[in-house]
Amino acid sequence: MANIKTQEKLDKKEILKLFKNGCKPAGEHKIGIEYERLPIFSVTSKAADYSSEFGVCNFLRSFARDENWDYITDDYNIIGLKQEHDTITLEPGCQIELSIKPEFTIDALKNKIDALDKQMKPVLNRSSISLLNYGVSPLSTHKSINLIPKKRYHIMAKYLWGILSDVMMRETAGIQCCIDFESEEDAMNKFRVANKLVPFMTAMFANSPIRGGVETGYKSFRALSWLNTDNDRCGFVGQIDDKFSFEEYVDYVLESPMIFINRESGAIPVNGKVNFSEFIENGFEDFDANLDDFKLHANLYFPEVRLRNFVEIRNHDCVGKGLQYSILAIYKGILYNHQAMSEIEELFKSFEYRDFSELRYNVPKSALNARIGKFFVKDIAKEILYIAEKSLIGMDTGEEKYLDAIKEYTLSGITPADVIIRNWNGLWNRDIKKLIKYVSG
């Protein structure tokens, strides 16, 4: 039976409330992390699948039973677990993501992740699965990695038109940082500064040079895959200018093509036939737009920095050895300190939008050796670290210690990828097992 249109058109004011409701007093500001890792079978080094006897679904089922977590399902298929505000979910190619309830300190987040890892390890060991702190599948490619049975991922895979969208969906793992704001002005200041920081952070934490068992010529193949996923919904939002607002952000989201909507009958593909603005105005087939449709659509919009009721900063390779907490420390030191943000703006004042846009395209290959204007990224990265460290010391929380892991690289002008490439062509003799051992745990 056709859906009868009876509701009033979705009002942009309702949409804007989603963002305005995120405003919190500065004393309540926390930091959050979404931490994806690549599961592989330890014996073969190949990507762990979903459905085999010792696959990732079996891990989720066993962990839920052992540790009393609840299932997250999609059409009766287990696609994740939840316990209170923490989740363990699966990305399209079985990548395992920890999404931890935001905390006031990085210490608290690290303690929760360490405890979770300790709980997961024996269950993973029973299935001979290892989790890799690495940005792209080191051996298996997307052609041999099946999508998990989550309907939205299958619709996305058919729709996303970039030549590396399958790589992004099935092979890559990243780390996202979540930051609070106290007002629209504060949100937009953080949004602007975060967008300018992202290409430098992508460079500093580049960690995906080996893919499919070979050196790719790129230091972040994961970042390259995002450049070739879907330019209608990826990249920078707008021109990173000073006058941006919640409404302007929403307008960009409204103008992007829709992939699908959800109704009681299931997912209904839209496949880019209308954008969300047209959906509000004219509907799609027999369906009218509602607020849940916007939330879904906004979640299928993948810019470098995404606005929600917090600021979500997205473009970092998965890293380990303490580097995952360096990411959080840099953003906390800069974005939770007005003086630090001003110093970053001063550092970047000679660069224009096109400079940041060009840098975004150069970083996957060259990382810290890329240039912006007359400058090497590696020299500016050192200044970013200095500003973040000075700010964290002033906060007197001891969190400047989390910068030690990245300082070891950046102050030497190298990235995690550079160390891997050197070892790959040297001590490891291009042995995938040695790479796997290095990025495990």
Does some domain include residue 421?
A: yes
Nearest to 331 by CA among 399, 233, 380: 399
pLDDT at 242: 81
Reduce the DSSP state of residue 43 to 3 states and report it: coil
Domain count, the chain: 1
Does some domain include residue 226?
A: yes
pLDDT at 241: 83
CB atoms within 10 A of CB 353: 14
d(CA 384, CA 402): 14
Reduce the DSSP state of residue 385 to 3 states and report it: helix
Q: How confident is the model over 97-116, as pLDDT tens digits?
A: 999 999 999 999 999 999 99
pLDDT at 441: 74
Q: How confident is the model over 410-424, as pLDDT tens digits?
A: 999 999 999 999 999
Nearest to 56 by CA among 32, 35, 33, 38: 38
End-to-end CA distance of the chain: 52
Nearest to 222 by CA among 99, 315, 109: 315
**Tokens standing for 171?**
């092979």
β-bridge pairing 214-215 and 77-83 = unpaired
Residue 124 and residue 59 in contact, taking contact as beta carbons nearer than 8 Å = yes
Does some domain include residue 53?
A: yes
The sign of the torsion formed by the CA atoms of 237, 238, 241, 245 equals negative
pLDDT at 10: 96
d(CA 143, CA 150): 18
pLDDT at 211: 98
**Tokens standing for 271?**
């496949």
pLDDT (average), residues 210-217:
98
**CA dist 370 to 195, 345, 366, 383, 412, Å?**
17, 20, 5, 16, 15
Please name the amino acid found at residue 309: N
Average pLDDT of the chain is: 96
Structural domain of 361 = 24-245+304-439
Does some domain include residue 208?
A: yes
DSSP H or E run through 363: helix 353-366
pLDDT at 8: 81
Reduce the DSSP state of residue 295 to 3 states and report it: helix
Nearest to 420 by CA among 326, 320, 328, 314: 320
pLDDT at 271: 96
pLDDT at 26: 96
- Res. 245: pLDDT tops 90: yes
pLDDT (average), residues 261-286:
95
Q: How confident is the model over 27-79, as pLDDT tens digits?
A: 999 999 999 999 999 999 999 999 999 999 999 999 999 999 999 999 999 99
> Which burial class, exposed, middle or buried, applies to 178 when counting CB atoms under 10 A from its CB (0-12, 13-18, 19+)?
buried
pTM across the whole model: 0.97
Nearest to 351 by CA among 197, 172, 163: 197
Backbone angles phi, psi at 96, to 5 degrees: -100, 120
pLDDT at 383: 98
Q: How confident is the model over 335-364, as pLDDT tens digits?
A: 999 999 999 999 999 999 999 999 999 999
- Res. 6: pLDDT tops 80: no
pLDDT at 7: 63
pLDDT (average), residues 318-347:
98
314: CATH? 3.30.590.20
How many Å is the Cα radius of gyration of the chain? Answer: 21
Tell me, what DSSP letter sits at residue 104?
Answer: S
CB atoms within 10 A of CB 197: 25
Residue 305 and residue 314 in contact, taking contact as beta carbons nearer than 8 Å = yes
3-state DSSP percent of the chain in helix, strand and coil, to 5: 45, 20, 35
Q: How confident is the model over 21-37, as pLDDT tens digits?
A: 999 999 999 999 999 99
d(CA 215, CA 291): 45
Query: For residue 312, what pLDDT band results from cuts at 50, 70 and 90?
Result: very high
Q: How confident is the model over 144-198, as pLDDT tens digits?
A: 999 999 999 999 999 999 999 999 999 999 999 999 999 999 999 999 999 999 9
- Res. 234: pLDDT tops 70: yes
Query: For residue 261, what pLDDT band results from cuts at 50, 70 and 90?
Result: very high
d(CA 373, CA 351): 7
Does some domain include residue 176?
A: yes
pLDDT at 2: 45
Does some domain include residue 7?
A: no
Does some domain include residue 19?
A: no
Residue 32 and residue 100 in contact, taking contact as beta carbons nearer than 8 Å = yes
β-bridge pairing 96-103 and 86-90 = antiparallel
Does some domain include residue 11?
A: no
d(CA 38, CA 252): 32
pLDDT (average), residues 283-305:
97
